[in-house]
Amino acid sequence: MNIYRLLSLCCALWLVGCNSAPITPTLVTPTFPLPTASVTATATKIVGTSTPTHTPVPDFAATEFWITSTAIVEAVVTAEQPRTYGTYPSPDGKWLVQVVIYDCIRIDPRPDADENAYEQLRLVERSSGEIKVGDGQLQSCGGLGAAGLEGLFWSQNSRYFYYTDAREGVPDGCGFSQRTTLRLDISTLSTEQLGGGFLSPDGTKIAAWQENELVIWDVNEGNEVGRISPRILNTETGTGPVVWSPDSQAFVYIQTESLCPVSGNSVMVHVTLSTLKQETLLESESPTFGGATWNKNNVLILFDENGDQWVYTLDNQKLEASP
């Protein structure tokens, strides 16, 4: 079987694997070394809480094997000992999240076959040492794109843990991208993908792109505060950078007609958090703006297609080249 056909089948059939008994390695009382570097890979999401049966790795050279993602995870886990990438204690001290990595290994012995790795997000109850698996990611080590689990932050009430499944690499193609933010509910072990997220300076809100909508989430409550449609929907990506105000009461987002390279018409839109009211502050084609920072309550620094800086003052809505 061609290896590309094999990997396509893995992605198509991963749901089948998840409907059977989920696969995770035998868990022991963890140790927590310092974070280390990991692989860049394409990924398939695998979630599980049970212990694997450790069946033998199939003999690909002797037989055609229609392998599922679950079977690949089983083989990687059987062959490799995990290493700890990072640990993240909860604010209340009761929980510890641990990211562990089963490094790349060739499951299919044929010379043109790719290697696979597997990562897990584990939740440790510190008082009992009990370990549960909150998420998992199967990776194709020779693939392109973004992959890898990494913790981002806890909610202050220790109810939710926020992380990304795109630690390294960038998505295929050209254009704006913001790594995905996911949320683990400690009480239910359920996960939710929030979108490409931007955390407010006070740590209480996330503004995240979900396709062509911008969704605002409450970090502590875990609920959606609201969502808006951007002013321009016919750009190449439909999304762009989101920049919060220093007081976390507002943000701006920037959309650009073309991001490969940055060119064409660009807009900067101001959104008030309390009302989600949108106001277009700036529209410019020459220069084209693709990014910004907001370090003072009334002043933004914009970056054009050449990397040059411009100063935008909110009080008088005046744009000037940076001296």
pLDDT along the chain (323 residues), means of 10: 39 36 32 30 44 41 54 88 96 98 86 88 96 93 86 98 91 74 96 95 96 93 94 65 96 88 90 96 93 92 94 94 86
Judge whether 137 lies within some domain. Answer: yes
Judge whether 298 lies within some domain. Answer: no
Compute the distance between CA of residue 63 and CA of residue 123 in angstroms, rounded to an integer.
Answer: 39
Side-chain-side CA neighbours of residue 215 (13 Å)? 18
Judge whether 188 lies within some domain. Answer: no
Asked if 40 contacts 91 with a C-beta cutoff of 8 angstroms, the reply is: no
Judge whether 143 lies within some domain. Answer: yes
Beta strands in 165-261 (DSSP E): 180-185, 191-199, 205-210, 213-218, 224-228, 242-244, 250-259
Count up the domains in the chain and report the number: 1
**Which pLDDT does position 303 carry in this prediction?**
95
**Which pLDDT does position 199 carry in this prediction?**
97
Range of the domain at 36: 3-168
Q: Which of 142, 56, 148, 146 minimizes the C-alpha distance to 102? A: 148
**Which pLDDT does position 31 carry in this prediction?**
29
Judge whether 7 lies within some domain. Answer: yes
pTM: 0.77
Judge whether 295 lies within some domain. Answer: no
**Which pLDDT does position 64 carry in this prediction?**
42
Provide the token pair at 284: 């410019």
What stretch of H or E contains 108? Answer: none
Beta strands in 260-323 (DSSP E): 262-272, 277-284, 289-296, 299-304, 309-313, 318-321
Q: Which of 190, 203, 202 minimizes the C-alpha distance to 154? A: 203
Judge whether 315 lies within some domain. Answer: no
Q: Is the torsion defined by CA of 77, 80, 85, 89 positive or negative? A: positive
Judge whether 217 lies within some domain. Answer: no
For the chain, counts of helices (H) and of strands (E): 3, 20
Q: Which of 107, 88, 62 minimizes the C-alpha distance to 155? A: 88
**Which pLDDT does position 96 carry in this prediction?**
97
**Which pLDDT does position 232 carry in this prediction?**
75
